[in-house]
Structures are given as structure tokens and as C-alpha cells.
Structure 1
Amino acid sequence: MKMTCEEVLPFKVGIVGGGMAGSTAALKMAGLGIETHLFEAKNSLVSGPPICHLHAGGNLYREISESQCVALLEQSIATIRAFPGSVNHRPTVIATPSTDPDESEAVLHRLKALMQHYRDMVMRDPENEVLGKPDDYFTLYNKEDILQLASRPLPQQPATADDWMIPVARFMTHEAIKSPLFLVQEFGLSVFRLAATTVLGLEASSKAHLHLNHQVVNLEESSHGWIIETHDNHRQCHQYQVDFLINASGFQTGMLDDMANRTRKRWVEYKAAYLAHWPSQQGVWPEVIVHGERGMPNGMAQFTPYSQGFVQLHGMTKDITLFEGGLVASDAHSAQPFLPDALLYKIKHGWQWADICSRTERAITHFGQWVPTFTTAEVGGYPLCGAQQIPGDDPTLRAADASFDGPRYARMEIVKASSALQAVEQVLEHCAKHGWITLPEGWQQPSLPLTNTLDNARIIEKAKAIAKHRGYPEALALPFPALSN
């Protein structure tokens, strides 16, 4: 019979923040029998920055190191295994515009290294083969290949790399893109199915205590743990005694650090992704990334397809995804970087419709430089937006996990959603090292016992309800491409 952490003296963990980091921590710990209290100021889980891409290799970012790319690959594979019902199984095309100073083949060395690392991972554990065959991790298409594919009919259910590339070959302006193009097995994530999975898993556990609409207002530290004081949405005060505190507060992690009298250098960046609707779309599209210089008018364009012709768009320019004053650092007075009031207002209260339309239309025009037929797309709904923290001194950091400040205080400082599982595993190993819990043999598998047997249909229905509650089309909650009958 498999042992659990219940068999040691009861140990209570408090987790502040119900985003991807905090929710994953609660799922993992409650699934191991640990008494877990999760505090979230909003009325639902996993509702922060836009999550749409599973960075299985970090190929969106030319500027990050190969070691970060490898870390993102490993974390993404773990995420697919933990949240299989949240994955959109479509590849990503990486393109370089003809005006870019870099050659498209500049990423080839890194892709080959990632393919080999994926091959090694599968050799060590066949269950890691979640991105397709390692030898198919990426496919290179030169100009002749693209011209040949452009003459093929559009498949309704893409089954091969060539099938996925056909709409790109048909509708991207060839002269505007350098050769070669790369199709990579970097998949998508549905933020709504992630939220549904966490809620369903936590609701099923007697060890998981979910405190929505609870704002943490004070912390008191002792030699044996913490007292967490919260206010609910009726301004009533509550206190909870825990043995260990996890700060998973997302872009507000520094505020909790300040309450706990911890110092930390970090950045915070506000970003937005825009929702377009493309009724005249032809074919089933992959995700498409057109590289560019961050923050400049030629910044990277990201086209993320969903069901029913909806598309999520990023344009890494100051007029689209990035914002003036949107990247801020902490200072000697506080561990919390402070965003401008206008951006905080957007986080708390939402956007004006005129601003939504102007930025979404700019995003459509930006991607339309390379796919002219896309300029017929229209505004599809509210932006998916929020702020993310970036720990340390390097604002380009993309792979981050956990840090510790004293024996009973941990931060889960993830930048990408795929880092969450690795971060909580580090926290568990820290607690086991101090003798507070006993991790049973094989504790890492299944990754999340509370969600391991969830039915996909149930996840989808819950995700549709969450999308509707947040004011988004249910298409964003549906699997993409559509599940075949």
C-alpha cells in the first residue's frame, strides 16, 4: 500500500496566490495528503497573465540562453504529463521576416540541441514522449518546399507536419519571409482548461481548503510557522495558523515579501494579448511566430489559433503587447516593483472598449504584414492581460522556479506556466529535508494525483463555464484542433 504524507505529524501549508503556481502547489500537496490552505483575492483560480503557449524549447525567444531553452523543454514535458487535458495539440511555425538582420538558420543549432535533449529524455523515460517522435521535434522547410506545399489542397484535419504547414505556405507572403521556416512541436495551453482542472481537482480533496475572495493583509512569523490574516469580500477578518508559507502571489509577490520582512530583487512586466475573430479563415492553422526586435515597431508577432476562427495575438511593440512604463524593477525600499496607476487600473477594473479596439486592430495589422488575408479579421473580445514577475536582475529570464528565504518561507517565482510543477517539487523536497513531511517512494508520479483521473469532457464543460463567467467566448475553452468523433 502506498504511503502518503498523512502518516507523519499533521503539517499545514499556507499558499498565497491562486494563479498557476499556487494552484499547482495546492494540487500537488493536497494530493500527497498535506493539509493545504490556498488563499486567492479574486473569485476564481488561474486568472492572471495570458497563458496560451507551451514553451517546449523556448523558440519564441531568440535572446535567451540555450540552458533556459532546455529548462523550458523539460518543464513543458512535465506540464503536459500533469495537465494533458489542457493542451492544444498543434505545432508552431517559426519565421524570420525578410527585413530582419538575422538569418533564419541562426536558430538551427539550438533546435538540433533541443531535439537531442528530447531524444535523451525519451530514452530515460518513454513516458516523456509527449511531443511526438523525437526525430520529428522540428521540421525545416526551404523555399522550394514552401512553393510545393502552396499548391496542395487545405487539409481539414492536419495529421502531418506538411499538413500543418500548407495554410502558411498558401497565405503567407513568400517575399516577406526568409528561408528556411521551421515547424516545431511547441503546443498550446488553454488557460480555461487549466483553471477548470485545478478547481475540479481541489474540490475533490478534503485536504485542500480553498479560500477565494480572501485578501492577505498581514503576516506574523514565529519559530514554528506563520499566522496569516485575511479579509474576505465582506471585510471580515480571518486568521489561519500554518507551519509553512508559500508566496505564490504572481506580480504581487513583492508585497507579500514586504509583509514578511523579506528583501528580493525582481522585475514586473505588464502585457496584454488580444482576441481577434477571423470568420474567413481558410484551413486549420498552426501557431505562427514571426521573429522581430522586442519593443520596436518590427517586434515579434504571435498568432495563436483557437476553435471557431478565434485567434489570440501578441505583437511585441509598445503599441500592442508592451506598454510605456510596463517593465519596472524593485528598489531598496520595497521588494515590490510598482506599475503605473493606469496599468494597475486595467488589472483591477478592465479596459475601455475604445482602447481594446485600437490595440486589437493594431495587432491584426501587425500580423497582416505577412498574411494579408488576415487583415479582414475583427475584434473578437476582451484582451487577456496581466502582469508577470521576473525574479532577479535579468528581465529576459524566462525559466524560473522556487526560492527560499528562511526554513519556513518559499517563493514560487515562475515566469512561464510550465515552471509551476518543478517549483512545487523543489518546495516539497525542501520540507522533506527539514523532516516536516515524508515523501513516499514514487511521489512524483502521477504528477498530480487529484487530477490524474479527471474526465476530459468534464474539464471542457467546466472550462466553458469559466470562460463565460469571465466574459470570453467558449471557443477559447475548447480543444484545438477540434476533437475528432
Structure 2
Amino acid sequence: MDQRKKIAIVGGGIAGSSVALYLAKTGLDITLFEKEKTLVSGPPMCHLHAGGNLYREIDDKQCKMLLKQSIELLRFYPYAIDFRPTVIATPTIDESSANELLPRLQMLQTEYDKLIQEDQNNKVLGESSEYFKLYSKENVLVLREKECVKQPKTLDEWMIPVSKNIELDKIKYPLIIVQEYGLNVFRISASVTLRLKTQSNVTLKNGIKVTDIKKYENSFKVTCDDSDNETIENFDYLINAAGFRSGEIDDMLGIKRDRLVEFKAAYVTKCEKYEGLWPEVIFHGKRGTPQGMAQFTPYPDGYFQLHGMTKDVTLFDKGLVRSNALSAQPKLDDIFIKKIDQGWSFSATQSRTLAAIEHMAQYIPAFKNAKVASKPLYGAQQIPGDDAELRASEVSFEGERYARCEIVKASSILTMADAIVKRLIQLDFIDEKYYKQRDFSTAKQSKKTQIDHYAEQICKAREYPISLAYVNNSY
């Protein structure tokens, strides 16, 4: 065994930074390259997807995988999870029944109970008996008469603000509340950065762009721009975690790979009317139509993040592109690259955010008084292969020494890391004891107050309200 093998990870999003943290305990010499100044600054994240109930179109196998992976992610990043449930509503204009999710929910409840029996530490989504609950219109009307609770403790208490504010005649019953929690991108960035900085065998290279990679028989030569100086370094193993730009790395190496890239955005709003804590609320709908899914994600101090799966809100014309025979990198239109690299114009921010508010106000009427709070959360996401509905994906390999991180949802990071560790064991880079290691004892080595402070700094640096740095962890 040579514990000094050098690993290059290109890309410091949640995939690259998490696999760096996972591999740090092996003693390998790890260098993480990230062209942005902070880690985990990719497309918007707001939902844990503990079961995938936002996606009616995916199969049970993907749902089970998302549940298991989400539990592991929660244990890996405990201070980045917003402990509040999600309400799922089916609008009357939707062609589906509100009961269609019940078989899936029952299956996931059984699966969650099984995971708890395997390891009591997996009980991170509350009791399995309370994984979900149904509410008839009569139940909702009863809750409507109750006072909102400052710190909700039960599912009924979480449902009170929903019952008081949504258009009850525009949804089908039952309403469903499910233990799918929130995911805070700013706190993940803070958590992984603070933990990586304590690892003596990990070198963080922020603000440095990789410009070329050459492959040799058993090594890679990585060239990058470091403060206008070109540097070249040799590595024994390469991990491509470049997110939507992963195809650029494949192109440098002359490797073909089919993939999709999709540009997405979520919108930050503020509404003074709402007091207390809300659950997340999802109004199902057909993607790409004017009735596309509406997603209402709460933050402290009256801030709400909005998705609307319509072409006026979250989806964009020509925003989903494919690779081709000439390049492994799908070519996003320049307008999207400009948004990613340079930011949004004031007019684009206003028009899209106001469209998101209007889309949500059809179900929560008082929300029409919400205001634009900041620039959107935005970015592009890669999807391996050609299935735009794929949600559970991890990693792929080319040869013995090149891995691609290809997660679609953040919850897949540990499964991804397992596959890479298995390859490193086969190369005799590390001992087999590191395979599928699930020691979460160091997950809380940073104090919550440290993460609060650092997440605030990240919000300020990225020009978002500092309220987005916080989560509700009282549940």
C-alpha cells in the first residue's frame, strides 16, 4: 500500500467536495480544484428528496434508493438539514388523483421502518409511523380554526399555516404531509469547507481553473491557472466532479460520453404577512405546461424560495441540451453561460421572480403581495445518458484511473464515494477497510455556531439575504 498516492478532484460542488471529505480519512494526498471562490456553489438545492415524492414519474426503485441515500446524507451533513416536513397537494386542474401517491408512501414507510430496524441511527425522519399523514377537507377546516404555533412539534401543528392560507377549493383531497426535509446549500458549503480545512492531507485550490489535462499510462498531468501563473502537477488518479462542465474534462481527455445539461433557477422572495414556521408546500403539475409544479420553500424571517416547473419560471427555452458526436459537453446557449458566469440582469430577475410569485399566488392568494428579495438561485445540472427524468445516479468510470461523479440529486454522494473507493482498493491505493465505511462520528466536529457564522459569510459573498443561512432545527 502506498498511502501517498495523489488524487485530483476537479470541481468543488457537493459531489467533488463531499468525495474529498470522504476520501480524506484514507490518508491519500488529495487536491480539490474549484474555479469559484467558495465550495458548493452550483444549481439550487432546497429539498432532501427522502423518498422522491416530488417526482410522480420515477419508479419505486429510484424512490427506495433516494430514501436510503437521503438518510445517509442527513447523517453526513447534520447541520445542513432543515427539519420541517413537506405538504403535497394535487390541484383540481391536475389530471391525477390525490390518492395516487398512497401506494408509494406506504412502500416507503415500510422501507423506512426496515432501515431503522437495521440501524437505529437511521431514525432521522421521525418515527416511521409518522412518515406521512393524510388530511381530508374536513380535517383541514378544523385546523383552520386553530392558532399558528411558534415552534411546531406535530404534523398537525405544521399543517395549520397551510390550512389557513391555501385555496381549499383549488386542490383535491386528501392533502399529504410527508417527512421530506429541507436541504440548505449555504450550510452544506460551510459544513464541508470547515471540515476539509481540518484535513492535513487535503489541499483546497479555490478560485483556480483547470485549463488542460493529459493522460499518461498510469498518471494525469493537470494544468491550471493560479493567479495568472500556469502550474502543472502530476496525479495518480483523476475524479471529474466538474458538474455541468464535466464534458469539458472528457473532451480534454478525448473521451465520449452521452449526457444532458439543464439550466434551472429558483427565486428568492419575501412576504411579511407570514409569521411563524411553514412546512414546504408542493402543488403537483405537469412539467413544462402553465400548470407545472409549484414549490414553496420557507426560510426564516419571511423569505421563501419558489420553483415553478413552467417555461416562465424555472424552465427555460433551450435550457435542456444534449451532447453530440463531436463533444461530450452539451452546449448551453450563451445567454445561460452569461447568467452562470456573470449573474442576472435586474430586468430578468424581476420578470422571472414576479412570474414565480404569480404562479404561487393561484394557490396561496395572499402571496401575491410578496416582493423580489434578491437575485435568483441558479445554475446548470448534468444528467448522465439521455433520460431527463433520471433522479438516482452516482458515478461512471473510464479505464482504471478516471472516475466521473454524475449525481443528479445530492443524496447520492455517499453511494458515489463508495464506488470510487472500491476502484481505489482494486488499485491497491487504499485498504479494503474503507469500503462502504459509514462512520458519521466526525460529522458534528464543527460546532453549529461555527457553521451559522460561516454560512452567513457565504450568503453575503454570494449576495443573498443572510436569513438563507439558517434552518429550523427544533423539530
TM-score range, shorter chain: over 0.9
Counterpart in 1 of 2:380? 387
Report whether the alignment pairs 1:329 with 2:352: no
Alignment CA distance shift 1:441-1:262 (3 Å): closer
Give distance in 1, aligned partners of 2:421 and 2:441: 13
Counterpart in 1 of 2:421? 428
Secondary structure at 2:101's aligned position in 1?
A: helix
Give distance in 2, aligned partners of 1:383 and 1:133: 35
Counterpart in 2 of 1:464? 456
Asked if the contact 1:402/1:426 (under 8 Å) is kept, the reply is yes
Counterpart in 1 of 2:308? 315
The Cα offsets for residues 55-90 of structure 1, whole Å up to 9 and x where unpaired, read as 101111111111111111111101000000000000
Letter in 1 for 2:357: I
Counterpart in 2 of 1:3? none
Letter in 1 for 2:66: L
Counterpart in 2 of 1:99? 93
The Cα offsets for residues 304-338 of structure 1, whole Å up to 9 and x where unpaired, read as 00000000000000100000000001111111101
Residue 281 (structure 2) aligned to one of 266, 285, 288: 288
Report whether the alignment pairs 1:455 with 2:447: yes
Secondary structure at 2:173's aligned position in 1?
A: coil
Asked if the contact 1:8/1:438 (under 8 Å) is kept, the reply is no
Report whether the alignment pairs 1:262 with 2:249: no
Secondary structure at 1:331's aligned position in 2?
A: coil
Counterpart in 2 of 1:411? 404
Give distance in 1, aligned partners of 2:179 and 2:118: 20
Counterpart in 2 of 1:181? 175
TM-score (norm 1): 0.96
Report whether the alignment pairs 1:351 with 2:321: no
Asked if the contact 2:84/2:279 (under 8 Å) is kept, the reply is yes
Report whether the alignment pairs 1:156 with 2:150: yes
Runs of 4 or more consecutive aligned structure 1 residues displaced over 3 Å after TM superposition: none
The Cα offsets for residues 101-136 of structure 1, whole Å up to 9 and x where unpaired, read as 110101111111111111111111111111011111
Letter in 2 for 1:351: W
Taking the TM superposition and a 5 Å limit, the aligned residue runs for 1:95-174 are: 95-174=89-168
Asked if the contact 1:271/1:385 (under 8 Å) is kept, the reply is yes
Letter in 2 for 1:461: H
Asked if the contact 2:26/2:434 (under 8 Å) is kept, the reply is no
- Offset, 1:425: 1.6
Give distance in 2, aligned partners of 1:417 and 1:367: 26
Give distance in 1, aligned partners of 2:265 and 2:321: 16
- Offset, 1:440: 2.8
Secondary structure at 1:317's aligned position in 2?
A: coil
Secondary structure at 2:55's aligned position in 1?
A: coil
- Offset, 1:220: 1.3
Asked if the contact 2:44/2:185 (under 8 Å) is kept, the reply is yes
- Offset, 1:442: 8.1
Secondary structure at 1:56's aligned position in 2?
A: coil
- Offset, 1:50: 0.5
Give distance in 2, aligned partners of 1:460 and 1:305: 17
TM-score (norm 2): 0.98
Report whether the alignment pairs 1:30 with 2:24: yes
The Cα offsets for residues 413-441 of structure 1, whole Å up to 9 and x where unpaired, read as 01111111221121011111222211436
- Unpaired runs of 5+ in structure 1? 1-6
Secondary structure at 1:96's aligned position in 2?
A: strand
Secondary structure at 2:32's aligned position in 1?
A: strand
Letter in 2 for 1:135: S
Secondary structure at 1:182's aligned position in 2?
A: strand
Report whether the alignment pairs 1:478 with 2:470: yes
- Offset, 1:8: 3.8
Asked if the contact 2:421/2:434 (under 8 Å) is kept, the reply is no
Asked if the contact 1:28/1:447 (under 8 Å) is kept, the reply is no
- Identity across aligned pairs (percent)? 45
The Cα offsets for residues 378-433 of structure 1, whole Å up to 9 and x where unpaired, read as 10111000000000121110111011111000001011111112211210111112
- Unpaired runs of 5+ in structure 2? none
Letter in 1 for 2:392: A
Give distance in 1, aligned partners of 2:225 and 2:345: 29
The Cα offsets for residues 228-277 of structure 1, whole Å up to 9 and x where unpaired, read as 11112x32111111111000000000110111121110100000000000
Asked if the contact 2:11/2:240 (under 8 Å) is kept, the reply is yes
Counterpart in 2 of 1:372? 365
Asked if the contact 1:316/1:322 (under 8 Å) is kept, the reply is yes
Letter in 2 for 1:219: I
Give distance in 1, aligned partners of 2:359 and 2:3: 58
Counterpart in 1 of 2:232? 239
Secondary structure at 1:351's aligned position in 2?
A: coil
Alignment CA distance shift 1:339-1:442 (3 Å): closer
Secondary structure at 2:91's aligned position in 1?
A: coil
Letter in 1 for 2:259: R
Secondary structure at 1:323's aligned position in 2?
A: coil
- Offset, 1:448: 7.6
Asked if the contact 1:276/1:311 (under 8 Å) is kept, the reply is yes
Asked if the contact 2:418/2:436 (under 8 Å) is kept, the reply is no
The Cα offsets for residues 326-354 of structure 1, whole Å up to 9 and x where unpaired, read as 00011111111011111111001001111
Asked if the contact 1:82/1:448 (under 8 Å) is kept, the reply is no
Asked if the contact 1:31/1:448 (under 8 Å) is kept, the reply is no
Counterpart in 2 of 1:50? 44
Secondary structure at 1:103's aligned position in 2?
A: coil
Asked if the contact 1:17/1:40 (under 8 Å) is kept, the reply is yes
- Offset, 1:480: 2.2
Secondary structure at 2:468's aligned position in 1?
A: helix
Asked if the contact 1:142/1:179 (under 8 Å) is kept, the reply is yes
The Cα offsets for residues 169-197 of structure 1, whole Å up to 9 and x where unpaired, read as 11111100100111010000111110001
Secondary structure at 1:271's aligned position in 2?
A: strand
Secondary structure at 1:179's aligned position in 2?
A: strand
Secondary structure at 1:48's aligned position in 2?
A: coil
Give distance in 1, aligned partners of 2:124 and 2:276: 25
The Cα offsets for residues 189-234 of structure 1, whole Å up to 9 and x where unpaired, read as 11111000111111111101011121111111112221111112x3
Asked if the contact 2:270/2:303 (under 8 Å) is kept, the reply is yes
- Offset, 1:360: 0.6
Taking the TM superposition and a 5 Å limit, the aligned residue runs for 1:206-245 are: 206-232=200-226, 234-245=227-238
Give distance in 2, aligned partners of 1:476 and 1:264: 36
Give distance in 2, aligned partners of 1:395 and 1:265: 12
RMSD of aligned Cα (Å): 1.4
Secondary structure at 2:99's aligned position in 1?
A: helix
Secondary structure at 1:460's aligned position in 2?
A: helix
